[in-house]
């Protein structure tokens, strides 16, 4: 649970020595609560206080890692009900279903789509992260053969779905070191599946038909020393599953039910046969509060909107997405290539750079630090003024890389041209570019014609 500044203050030495960079312990506590400082900056906090603070500040929903290495998926770790309160922390993982009764060709096609359906957006690669491998046959040999077939799929993390602990064991052994999610421990098999999770250090799903049943199972696993738990409430109807997600999140955040303080797994693939409805259900769980979302298939037309929704909902609303301020080379540049200027709002950068790319005219793009504001907003806030853009251009060193002395400014910021010319001096020619990014292609083609 996030602690308030006053709660944190109680654990600090209260000597007001100032060595942490702020004058008082209270000010330091407030900075810690706001996430603007680190406890390590105070050299005088006792070990007991450190331990107490770390336990008390643990998120009410446990963070669970599935997989290993750079592409592992982290779910949970959430601290708020609503995104505007703070931010959501770990994006839900999207899982593509494979079953041991599917034909080889179908498996191969799905694995291909898993690898290919990835979308670069605002400097990130949007994609699904997990393969959910389900035993439909109940045959351990078939299940293990499927796991063996896909275990080396690049960047895949795994959910193993089977009722029989022997199958889960066979799958976990085949995926040794990859920390698959074992699905699921139920009242009938919790001792065996819990022991397997403990032995393999794999995260594990608990499944029960009621939320009280879930609480009993998570408490039992906790007592066994298994802490990386994911909750399946067993609901396979959208309404019930949705209500369950709300109840789990509210219960965990209010602190009334710590046994619900784990991320969840949901199965839109089992809620409908209609792919469009399935993607709508998945979108619902992206917003409210699925930890892992299992889809019957990955198709571009349904996966992409879910990925985009996930990107938006899990972006920090208090922190604009920014691009590093510097000169970018787009396409094949030469010393005579045009130079364009824009702001460091990520969306602006990606739209402008995309249009330059589409023009097939090699160009330099100077991204000015506007603290994540778009061009017009930045100009209105005094962060895209002529003297600032001129100073950024000089500092960038672009004058040493190009003979071209023409700089193209966004049409929306035409008003800065006079100040910019004054800042840059007579060697530079300021050209007013298009007001709309969509006009960049013809503009650049005409400029180099």
Residues that bind ligand SF4 (CB under 6 A): 12-13, 15-20, 24-25, 28, 42, 44
Q: Is the CB of 16 or the CB of 438 nearer to ligand SF4?
A: 16
Half-sphere exposure of 130 (CA within 13 A, CB side): 33
Find all residues with CB under 8 Å of 366, minimum gap 6, and list them: 326, 327, 339, 340, 341, 342, 392, 393, 396, 398, 407
Q: Is the CB of 12 or the CB of 226 nearer to ligand SF4?
A: 12
Cis peptide before 186 (omega within 30 of 0): no
Q: Is the CB of 41 or the CB of 74 nearer to ligand SF4?
A: 41
Q: Is the CB of 46 or the CB of 429 nearer to ligand SF4?
A: 46
Written as one string, the DSSP assignment of 427-449 is: T-EEEE--SSGGGHHHHHHHHH-
Q: Is the CB of 29 or the CB of 292 nearer to ligand SF4?
A: 29
Q: How far apart are CA 15 and CA 30, in angstroms?
A: 16
State the nearest-atom distance from the C-beta of 44 to ligand SF4, in Å: 5
Q: How far apart are CA 109 and CA 105, in angstroms?
A: 6
State the nearest-atom distance from the C-beta of 1 to ligand SF4, in Å: 21
State the nearest-atom distance from the C-beta of 24 to ligand SF4, in Å: 6
Quickly count: other Cβ atoms within 10 Å of residue 234's Cβ.
19
Q: Is the CB of 20 or the CB of 389 nearer to ligand SF4?
A: 20
Please report the sign of the dihedral spanned by the C-alpha atoms of residue 176, residue 179, residue 181, residue 182.
positive
Q: How far apart are CA 9 and CA 408, in angstroms?
A: 53
171 Cα distance to chain centroid:
28
State the nearest-atom distance from the C-beta of 29 to ligand SF4, in Å: 7
Q: Is the CB of 17 or the CB of 125 nearer to ligand SF4?
A: 17
State the nearest-atom distance from the C-beta of 216 to ligand SF4, in Å: 42
State the nearest-atom distance from the C-beta of 27 to ligand SF4, in Å: 8
20 Cα distance to chain centroid:
31
Q: How far apart are CA 132 and CA 346, in angstroms?
A: 33
Please report the sign of the dihedral spanned by the C-alpha atoms of residue 6, residue 10, residue 13, residue 15.
positive
State the nearest-atom distance from the C-beta of 5 to ligand SF4, in Å: 12
């Amino acid at each position: 649970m996030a602690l308030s500044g006053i709660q944190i203050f109680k654990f600090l030495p209260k000597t007001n020595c100032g060595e942490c960079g702020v004058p008082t312990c209270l000010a330091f506590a407030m900075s810690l609560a706001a996430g603007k400082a680190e406890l390590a900056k105070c050299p005088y906090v006792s070990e007991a206080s450190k331990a107490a603070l770390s336990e008390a500040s643990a998120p009410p929903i446990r963070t669970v890692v599935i997989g290993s290495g750079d592409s592992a998926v982290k779910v949970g770790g959430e601290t708020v009900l609503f995104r505007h309160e703070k931010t959501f922390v770990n994006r839900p993982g999207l899982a593509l279903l494979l079953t041991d009764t599917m034909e080889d060709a179908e498996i191969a096609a799905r694995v291909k789509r898993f690898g290919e359906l990835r979308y670069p957006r605002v400097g990130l690669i949007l994609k699904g992260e997990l393969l959910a491998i389900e035993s439909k046959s109940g045959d351990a040999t078939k299940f293990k053969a499927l796991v063996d077939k896909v275990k080396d799929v690049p960047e895949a993390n795994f959910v193993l779905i089977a009722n029989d602990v022997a199958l889960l064991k066979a799958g976990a052994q085949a995926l040794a070191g990859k920390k698959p999610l074992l699905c699921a421990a139920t009242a009938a098999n919790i001792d065996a599946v819990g022991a397997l999770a403990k032995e393999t250090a794999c995260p594990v799903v608990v499944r029960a038909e009621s939320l009280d049943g879930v609480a009993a199972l998570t408490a039992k696993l906790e007592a066994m020393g298994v802490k990386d738990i994911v909750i399946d409430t067993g609901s396979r109807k959208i309404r019930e599953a949705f209500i369950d997600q709300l109840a789990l999140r509210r219960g965990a955040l209010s602190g009334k039910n710590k046994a619900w303080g784990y991320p969840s797994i949901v199965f839109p693939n089992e809620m409908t046969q209609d792919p469009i409805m399935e993607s709508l259900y998945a979108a619902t769980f992206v917003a409210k509060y699925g930890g892992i979302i299992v889809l019957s298939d990955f198709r571009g037309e349904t996966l992409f909107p879910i990925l985009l929704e996930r990107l938006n909902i899990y972006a920090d609303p208090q922190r604009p997405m920014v691009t590093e301020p510097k000169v970018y080379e787009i396409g094949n540049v030469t010393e005579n290539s045009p130079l364009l200027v824009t702001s460091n709002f990520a969306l602006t950068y990606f739209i402008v750079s995309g249009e330059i790319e589409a023009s097939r005219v090699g160009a330099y793009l100077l991204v000015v630090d506007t603290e994540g504001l778009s061009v017009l907003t930045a100009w209105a806030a005094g962060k895209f003024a002529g003297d600032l853009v001129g100073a950024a251009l000089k500092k960038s060193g672009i004058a040493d890389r190009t003979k071209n002395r023409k700089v193209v400014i966004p049409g929306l910021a035409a008003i800065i041209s006079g100040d910019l010319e004054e800042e840059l001096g007579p060697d530079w020619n300021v050209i007013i570019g298009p007001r709309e990014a969509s006009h960049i292609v013809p503009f650049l083609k005409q400029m180099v014609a």
